[in-house]
Structure 1
Amino acid sequence: MARNAKFLRNLKIDNFIEDLLKDSSPNSRQPGDKVDAAGPRVLPDKPTEPVTEPVTEPVEPVAEPVTEPVTAPGTEPVTAPTSLQELGATQKRRNRRRVSNPSRWKASSRKKLYQEGKEHVNSANKKASAKQVRTLKNCSTSCKYKCAKKVTPAEREKCFTQFYLLSQNRKYDFIAMTTDCTEKERQTCDEPHRKRTYSFKYHLNVEGEKVRVCKQFYLGTLAISQKPVYNTHMKKNQTTSTPKSDARGKHAKKCISENQKEQVKAHISSFPVVESHYCRASTERQYLEPVLNVSRMYDLYRLKCNENGNTPVKESYYRFIFNTEFNLSFHTRKKDRCDQCEAYETAVKQNMVGQSDEYHQTKHIANKTAMRQERQKDREDKDTLTVCFDLQNVISCPRAEISSFFLQAET
C-alpha cells in the first residue's frame, strides 16, 4: 500500500508540472487573460469560448536504420568525431611548418632575372645592369653585308625581346638554328699554332626569312658574347645536331642510406621534450630545452658518430630531417591565455558580449590582479620563504648544459 501511495503521489506531481508548463506556453494564452505576478498561472477575466483546433492525424516518424560499427574481436570500436574541436584534433600537423621552398630562394630569383636579361645583383653581391641591344660598329657603311639596311632597329628589338623570353635550353636551340659552324675555308698564314679552326655564319629571322648578318651585328642584337655560340656548336649531338641541355645544377646527389637516416631520427628522438602549456588540445608540437638549437644538436650527433665509428651526414640533411620528420621547436611559450580570456576576446570580435560576460570577465581580471599583488608582496617579504608552483607547466628535471649530459639521455 505504501508503495502504491508513493506512486500515485509522484504521478500527481508529474501531471501538475505538465499542466503548469502547458499553461505557461504563449500559445495557450487568450487575449483577455492576465498573468499572475507570483507565477505563470493564467487568470481569465471572463469565461471564453473554447478554441477548437483542427485535428490532424499523427504522422509516425520514420526510424533511420542504426548501423553499429563492425570491429575485430578484442578491439575497441572507432567513433567518428562529433564536434569541430574533435575534428580539428584528428587533423593535427605532424611536422614543422617550415619547409624548403626553392622558388623563393635568392639564387633562384637571381637566376630568373638573369635569364630574362633584367637588372639584378649577382652572386658576388655586385649590381649587374639590364641587357639591351648594342651597336658595336657602324654596319651601314663599314660592313660588307650592310646589316643596318637589311634589319631595322625595331626588328632588332623584337629579336632581342623574343630571345630573352626563352629558357636557357631554348636559347641554345635558337643559337643553333640561326648560326652555322663549318671548317675554315682558307689558311691566311703559315703559323701552325693558330687556334681558329672553324668559321661561323650568323643569321637573324626577319619576317620569316633568315637574313645573313655579320658577327658584331648578331652579338650586339642578342647582347651576348662569342662564347655561347661556340659552346653550343662544340657540345651539340653529332648525330641529331641538337644542342646539349644545360647541366648546371643537375649533378647527381650523394645517396644517403636508410641506416644513416634512422640514426639521425634516433638521435633527435633521444632528447627530452615537453608539451605545450595550455595548447595541448589544438597542437601536437613539442618543445626542447631553450639552451638547444639545431646546430648544437648536430654537434652532439657528430660527436656520437665519431665515438661509434659511424660516418655522420651533413648538417643540412640533419636539419632537413628535423624540419620534415618532427614537430619540434625550441622557443618557450611566451604567453598562454586561459579559456576565459580567449572566449571573451572572441566574443568581442564578433560583437556578442553580454552583461554576464562583462561581469565574469571583470571578476576574472580582478582575481588575477589580486593574485599578482599578493605574489608581489610575497616576493618583497624577505623574512618569509615562499614557493610558487605552476602545476600545468612541465619542466624536465634535472637540467644541465653539459654536452655529455645530453648524450646520456638515451640511457
Structure 2
Amino acid sequence: MNILDMKTEEKVDPPRTNDRKTKTACAKCFKAVCSNHRAEICTDCRKKCMQQFTEEDKKEILSKLLSGSSKNEQDTYIQGLKEVKSIQRHRKRSSEDKQERKSNFLYFVRKGSNRISVCKKAFISLHAISHWQVQRLNTLLFAAKCPRDLRGKHNNRPGTICDEWTQKIKEHIEAFPVKVSHYCSKNIRYLDASLDVKKMHNLFIEKYPDLENFVKYEFYLKYFNEIFNLRFGRPQVDVCSECERYGTRLKDANLKENGKRAAASLHCLFVAFEAMYYDAAATNEDAAC
C-alpha cells in the first residue's frame, strides 16, 4: 500500500471544562484517577490500598466527590472522610528544633455503603486532589471549622472593581435623559449631543469623589460600551417632517403660550402613536420570521 494513500486517524481530545471554580466529572478527571501512573503512587503501601479498588470503583469514588455543585460542598465531603486521632507516643527526634506533630489523621474512602481505611497517598490519588488541599482541610478539621471558599474574597486586589461600584456607574449612566430614534433600530437610544463619555466620567467623579482612584476613565468607557447601547446626538435623517413642523411652531416667537402648549401636546401624542406603530410593525415582523 502506498504510504500517501494511508489515512491517519485524527486524535480527538476529550472536551475541556472552562469552570475554574469547581471540578466537574469529565473524562479527563476519570482518566487521571484511573491511570496506571496514579495507581503506582502507593505500590509500597503495607495496606495495599489501590489493589482494593477496581477501575469502576475509582470512577464511582470520583463521581461522588464531583457530584457536589460547589467548592464548599466538595471540601465538606472530603473533610467528612477524615478523622483526627491524637498521638499517643512521640518518637525521639534527632533535632530539638523540629516541631512535633500535634495530631494524626485517618483517611477513608467510600466503596458502596462501606468506609475503607486507606493511606494518605491513596486518598489523594483516588479523589484526584492535591497534597495542599488535604493539608488545608486537615488544619480546618483539627480546629473544628467548616471549609469555606474564600477565593476572590480577601480584598487584596486594589484594582478590582466591586459590584457596588459598577452599580453606581450603571445608575449614573441611566440618570442621563435619552431620546428614542424614530426610524432606526428601536434598541438604540441617543444621549444629548453635548455629552461624551469623558464628560460623563468627570460628572461621575464629581458625584463620587472617593472613587476617583478606583473607577478610571478606561473602565468607565469599557462598561459604557459593553453594557449600554447608547449613542450621542441624533442622525439628521431621523427627523421627520411632522417633528420639524412642531419644532418650528414651538420656536415661533409670535406664537402665544397657549398655542405652544397645544403644539407640544400634539407633538407628544404624535411621537407616542409613532412609537406604538413601529413597535407593532416590529412585533409582526418577528412573528412572521
- Tell me which residue corresponds to 2:263: none
Pick from 172, 181, 206 the counterpart of residue 305 of structure 1. Answer: 206
Is the contact made by 1:173 and 1:242 (CA closer than 8 Å) also made in structure 2? Answer: no
- Tell me which residue corresponds to 1:385: none
- Tell me which residue corresponds to 2:109: 204
SS in 2 for 1:181: strand
Q: Distance in 1 between matches of 2:189 and 2:76?
A: 51
1:269 shift after superposition: 2.9
1:330 shift after superposition: 4.8
Q: Does 1:286 align with 2:193?
A: no
Larger Rg: 1
For residues 11-410 of structure 1, the aligned pairs below 5 Å read 109-111=18-20, 114-116=22-24, 118=26, 131-133=32-34, 134-137=38-41, 139=43, 142-166=44-68, 167-184=70-87, 185-195=89-99, 197=101, 198-236=103-141, 238=143, 241=144, 243-250=146-153, 264=172, 269=176, 275-279=180-184, 285-287=189-191, 289=193, 292=196, 294=197, 296-297=198-199, 299-301=201-203, 305=206, 311-312=211-212, 314-315=215-216, 328-330=230-232
Deviations 1:114-151 (A, max 9, x none): 5216599xxxxxxx998534224353xx2211213432
More helix by share: 2
Change in CA separation of 1:310 and 1:116 when aligned onto 2, cut-off 3 Å: closer
Q: Distance in 2 between matches of 1:310 and 1:187?
A: 59
Q: Structure 1: which 5+ runs fail to align?
A: 1-107, 121-127, 351-411
1:186 shift after superposition: 2.1
Q: Distance in 2 between matches of 1:186 and 1:261?
A: 61
Q: Distance in 1 between matches of 2:48 and 2:170?
A: 69
Q: Distance in 2 between matches of 1:154 and 1:129?
A: 10
Change in CA separation of 1:309 and 1:212 when aligned onto 2, cut-off 3 Å: closer
For 1:269, give the aligned amino acid: F
Q: Distance in 2 between matches of 1:261 and 1:300?
A: 12
> Superposition RMSD on alpha carbons, in Å?
5.2
- Tell me which residue corresponds to 1:22: none
Change in CA separation of 1:131 and 1:331 when aligned onto 2, cut-off 3 Å: farther
Change in CA separation of 1:119 and 1:150 when aligned onto 2, cut-off 3 Å: closer
Change in CA separation of 1:276 and 1:150 when aligned onto 2, cut-off 3 Å: same
Q: Distance in 1 between matches of 2:232 and 2:30?
A: 43
For 2:138, give the aligned amino acid: H
Q: Distance in 1 between matches of 2:99 and 2:83?
A: 19
Change in CA separation of 1:182 and 1:333 when aligned onto 2, cut-off 3 Å: farther
Q: Distance in 1 between matches of 2:100 and 2:150?
A: 26
SS in 2 for 1:189: coil
Q: Distance in 1 between matches of 2:54 and 2:236?
A: 67
1:196 shift after superposition: 5.6
Q: Distance in 1 between matches of 2:237 and 2:126?
A: 61
TM-score normalised over the length of structure 1: 0.40
Is the contact made by 1:159 and 1:221 (CA closer than 8 Å) also made in structure 2? Answer: yes
SS in 1 for 2:115: strand
Change in CA separation of 1:291 and 1:129 when aligned onto 2, cut-off 3 Å: farther
